[in-house]
Amino acid sequence: MEKEKFWSQYADSFDELIEYVIGTKDMDIVKNEITKLKNLGNVLELGCGSGIYTNILSKNCKSILATDLSKEMVEYAKSKFSSCENVKVEQGDATNLQYEEESFDTVYMANLLHVVPDYNAVMEQALKVLKKNGKIITLDFTMDGMRFIDKISLIYRFMKVWGKPAVKAKKSKFSVSEIEELFKDYNLKVENVKMLGNKNKAILGIGIKP
């Protein structure tokens, strides 16, 4: 699969590359916000990549099943968390989940909705495996709310590292209001949707399944 091959080539250097593209200060802001997510129960993480957020989430949940489409990303993350008893890593397709319905307390996805060809398919699958009163947590970097000069700088760093995206996303940029509307479209109760970051921006969304 084209998308899988694209991200697989960056598996062992992904952490450093994302830090370069987004910037250390803004990544620290995002990571700090993720540490505030508590009592997550049994978590399913979609698009875990190299496990940047898996490490943070594992400290605030009972267990976490971290999944990614890329075999290489999964192998890298497996080695990274081999000594973590509450972390399991496996390959999986976010648009075709093979788990029991209503089996997770939290579904977490970072930088996934704005890179997949069909984010609606991801949302539908996430809701299928999420328990009632469970949480969907989304994190998506966005150029919404950024200054023009910072947008140019971000695009330059992105293109320098990754070049043109391998797969055309259905929607490559979200705003706070669009994440809120997305949650409402799927009958999620909006707990919180907010913008994070200084020069570079990310949107953190938390929705509850009724």
What integer pLDDT is reported at residue 6 of this predicted model?
Answer: 56
For the four alpha carbons of 147, 153, 156 and 161, in that order, the dihedral sign comes to negative
Whether the predicted pLDDT of 170 surpasses 70: no
Confidence of residue 18 (pLDDT cuts 50, 70, 90): confident
Identify the pLDDT of residue 28.
96
pLDDT (tens digit, 9 = 90+) per residue, 56-106? 999 999 999 999 999 999 999 999 999 999 999 999 999 999 999 999 999
Residue 163 scores a pLDDT above 60: yes
Asked if 53 contacts 139 with a C-beta cutoff of 8 angstroms, the reply is yes
> For residues 12 and 201, which has the higher predicted lDDT (pLDDT)?
201
pLDDT of residue 113: 93
For residue 30, give the H/E element and its range: helix 24-35
Chain-wide mean pLDDT for the chain?
A: 90
Q: Domain 1-209: which topology? A: Rossmann fold (3.40.50)
Which residue in 92, 95, 102, 98 sits closest to 42, CA to CA?
102
pTM above 0.85, yes or no: yes
How far apart are alpha carbons 151 and 142 in whole angstroms? 10
pLDDT at 167: 55
Domain ranges for the chain: 1-209
Contact 102, 131 (CB under 8 A): yes
Tell the burial category of 147 from Cβ atoms under 10 Å away from its Cβ (0-12, 13-18, 19+): exposed
